[in-house]
Structure 1
Amino acid sequence: MTPTGAAALLTDRLGRALNITQGTGSQILTAPQPEGWTEIGGRVHLER
């Protein structure tokens, strides 16, 4: 299972939003939505 899939499943099971730090400066953001949906977004730290 991917980290994004695991975050979605965990959000569904807990019934609350999550803010998961992944690596340095990257985040996976999740939030439960009506009718069993889970919203997923995030931020990525760009290294140059």
Structure 2
Amino acid sequence: MKQLIQFLLAGIVETVKQKRLHKSRERAAEHNLQLAKYAAAIRKTQENA
């Protein structure tokens, strides 16, 4: 019984870790997209100047 509980808890912990990792990657991707938009806007402004 104790092993089953440990196994279940380990599974829950791993799931939480995976969700956090996924969220972190999503945030990084959104951040990179925003930076790319800013860079494009700056380039466009410089070309028009």
- The two structures have a TM-score, normalised by structure 2, of 0.28
Judging by fraction of residues, say which structure has more strand: 1
Using CA pairs under 8 Å that are at least 6 residues apart, name the structure with larger relative contact order, 1 or 2: 1
The TM-score, its normalising length taken from structure 1, stands at 0.29
Larger radius of gyration: 2
